[in-house]
Structure 1
């Protein structure tokens, strides 16, 4: 039950007096606690000790933006379950037309924060595209994307793919199976067009990674020469298509495949127009996907608000993964509402509830297709940020060499585990989440152990970005410049 406007006003006025009249506040909050509980507020909303120690939010009325994808779920759940209200935050949630509109809204203050592509805060901070200092105290999820191709392309790929005993394709499907198809288009003088959602999106880098691992060059950027197409030397031509438009663009034949988040891969299956061939979990197991982005100025001006919104999002993420995804059917029902994702329940449930359908009828168990809390999914790791920077450099978005120290310095400007730790420790103190659910904050460095689960078997060590960049057969190396 949502707070009534008269009670919200009363509570706001009471909170504003805390600094001057602590003893009065205690008595007032104690007296109104039964009313608060009767109105559906949680006990944590009127917890005197926790609220006083944490500090009340400097800004209470907030507007957050999102794109219609299932991985915006932590924001929707924090709102629907009252976690924002528990923190004294009165939030409006608004869908945005595309990622650029969303980013601009955060920069110009129309939005206080937003569901963002992991690459957006990084790119903005280093000045690639729109320049602004954006930070993230919260990683929204792991995995959640896939690469889909048209039925025609799939039919041409199938002869190149090994089969299981039951006749179904062996997964993961590598881009090696696509290369002869792309080569045939090239020989016929036809461009092989594919879609991704934004130049600094995970989808762009995952699609490029998969293609390059199969010997297909996805093209370079050369912003220092005024070329931001990303198609220099490309064998597959990648361009931007907004996520909800991916299936219709594929159906129209404008593109032959795409990389996008859910539910827009499963939508292609339901419509019978395409086949998802590989998930990002298979390209890079437990890869970071979206983040919650705010300006550095917002975090500095409203530190208590920043910690409190992070608390609410952490609680929402945990709820989404609790009891082996037991809450996912309820989450799918919420997300299917038109004000959130607005896709059919069955389409969203196809991936959100622990399965994923590739070819029609080929539904497989993928319990970690969407991860919101387990595996420390919400922690903003420096090494995650550095991976994105290595891919920006690999494909020319960063034109010149940078020393290893530069990568760490940029990561530390954008990813803010210090804010996350304050929020998490306060949740532990309030007995809302156990300490075992989080990293060990006394020993955590912000760097994951070298990661081995990539489709090309190349190991990623975030502490050695230049060595990693040099390990790829396709892509710019150290010392190279277009």
Structure 2
């Protein structure tokens, strides 16, 4: 197999789930497959999108919804995009400020009750941050608020803040809460400035999270490079998930200044599935962040991409229903993934759709996305 581009520039944001791309380079899985991963630490998801468009980055640790939002031209000129693989499942959180917790708001129901009381007592706007307008964190935040009767477009103000700046902005009182990937939710708990109201896996157990994204133009020009890249990252994810010892070693590496630049104590517990919400509740999570799961976590299910489009439609980011399946088939590089998985010795499911039940009881299986998008009592559809 002739590799078209030996050095591959890969962007990432400082989050725990950048681990597979970092470890693919650190452990030499890239060299095993004939490439060299050159890592680039980015400061925002908008920066990742823009650098993928200009070619400064060849591929990136990216938000699922960022890839689909760019494909559909939401907030920017449309550009044909590609999902090469899923990088992980689970491991994000919605954090409420300590100020809200002291007023009794520590979960969705108590937040809704507090907001209802304040409507009568003193009118003020609640502000919640997500990391990118079409990203996963925006969708988890909106879904969770709506599931508790809080309209995310009318009852609160949503702002966009880069993940590594969430804790600072919470401390400064610029917002009442945020949704972001770890370690920033756990960092807020450690610093005593926030409580974990819910984890993303409580919203959707084993949900899709980050992907390895690229422009379709890059993939078509460099298919063998992309196969080698996916194979290398698959091997890294499998290695991380193989043992707690490997997760500890990974946390040690990614905590360093070139990557997340935070203490290992903010990263490791939740990597091991050990959660403390900062409000007196600690537990061992049944659905912690995972990077492989025998390939199940990495397989780019068509229904996963379609779900994000249903939420874009629900919240008025799309004025009309797209051809959900056709768009997902165009973006998701299933054939390339299967070939790369074979190179890495990773099993591939035969199906392209999967079924899940979310926190509000809605079942998503990808079979009727138009009806699903229209089925919610809280939405912004035309």
> TM-score band, normalised by the shorter chain?
over 0.9
- From 202, 205, 214, the equivalent of 2:148 is 214
Is the alpha carbon distance of 1:346 and 1:367 closer, same or farther for their aligned partners in structure 2, counting shifts above 3 Å? farther
Q: 1:368-399: CA deviations, max 9, x gaps?
A: 32111006010011000000000000000001
- The match for 1:12 is none
In structure 2, the partner of 1:387 is 307
Q: Which residue of 2 aligns with 1:27?
A: none
The counterpart of 2:264, out of the listed 335, 345, 363, is: 345
1:240 aligns with 2:160: yes
- Contact kept? 2:83, 2:333, Cα under 8 Å: yes
Residue of structure 2 equivalent to 1:60: 6
- Out of 268, 271, 275, the position equivalent to 1:356 is 275
Select the residue among 84, 91, 98 that pairs with 1:151.
Answer: 98
Matched, 1:469 2:373: yes
Matches of 1:373 and 1:408 in 2, distance apart? Answer: 25
Contact 1:196 1:259 in 2 (8 A): yes
Shift of 1:63: 1.2
Task: Tell me the residue number matched to 2:215.
Answer: 295
| Contact map agreement 2:205 2:287 (CA 8 A) in 1 | no
Shift in Å, 1:359: 1.4
Q: State the Cα distance separating 1:68 from its structure 2 match.
A: 0.4
**Using the alignment, how far apart are the partners of 1:260 and 1:182 within structure 2?**
22
Query: In structure 1, how many angstroms separate the alpha carbons of the residues matched to 2:327 and 2:67?
Result: 10
Counterpart of 1:409 in structure 2 is: 326
Q: Is the contact made by 1:67 and 1:115 (CA closer than 8 Å) also made in structure 2?
A: yes
| Alignment partner, residue 446 of structure 1 | 352
Q: When the two structures are superposed, what TM-score results if normalisation uses the length of structure 2? A: 0.96
Q: Secondary structure at the match of 1:409?
A: helix
C-alpha distance in 1, partners of 2:98/2:125? Answer: 18
What 5-or-longer segments of structure 2 have no aligned partner? none
Q: Which has the higher Rg, Structure 1 or Structure 2?
A: 1
Give the one of 135, 138, 155 matched to 2:82: 135
- Counterpart of 2:341 in structure 1 is 424
SS at match of 2:267: helix
Cα RMSD between the aligned structures?
Answer: 1.5
- Out of 227, 252, 276, the position equivalent to 2:196 is 276
Equivalent residue, structure 1, for 2:363: 459
Structure 1: distance between partners of 2:342 and 2:25:
22
- Is contact 1:272–1:360 with CA below 8 Å preserved after alignment? no
Instruction: Tell whether the 8 Å contact from 2:137 to 2:179 is kept in structure 1 after alignment.
Output: yes
Candidates 273, 276, 297, aligned match of 1:377? 297
Shift of 1:184: 3.4
Q: Which fold has the larger relative contact order, with Cα–Cα distance below 8 Å and residues 6 or more apart in sequence?
A: 2
Q: Provide the C-alpha distance between the structure 2 equivalents of 1:445 and 1:351, rounded to a whole number of angstroms.
A: 30
Q: Which residue of 1 aligns with 2:317?
A: 397
Distance 1:456 1:367, change over 3 A: closer
CA distance in 2, matches of 1:399, 1:293: 25
User: 1:123, CA displacement in angstroms?
Assistant: 1.1
Any runs of at least 4 consecutive aligned residues in structure 1 with deviations exceeding 4 A, and if so which?
none
Q: Alpha-carbon deviations, 1:300-321, whole Å to 9, x = none?
A: 1111111000000100111111
**Contact 1:84-1:90 at 8 Å conserved across structures:** yes
Q: Does the residue aligned with 1:215 lie in a helix, a strand or coil?
A: coil
Inter-partner Cα distance in structure 1 for 2:241 and 2:173: 38
1:190 — aligned with what? 124
Q: Distance in 2 between matches of 1:427 and 1:180?
A: 50
TM-score by length of 1: 0.76
Q: Is the 8 A contact 1:122 1:134 kept in 2?
A: yes
Paired residues for 1:38-187 under 5 Å = 55-130=1-76, 131-157=78-104, 173=107, 175-187=108-120
Structure 2 equivalent of residue 36 of structure 1: none
Unaligned residue ranges in structure 1 (runs of 5+): 1-54, 162-172, 220-233
Separation (CA, whole Å) in 1 of partners of 2:312 and 2:180: 19
Q: Deviations over 1:335-393 (max 9, x none)?
A: 11110111101111121122111016633112532111006010011000000000000
Distance 1:317 1:413, change over 3 A: same
Equivalenced residues, count: 379
Q: What secondary structure, in the 3-state scheme, does the structure 1 residue paired with 2:356 have?
A: coil
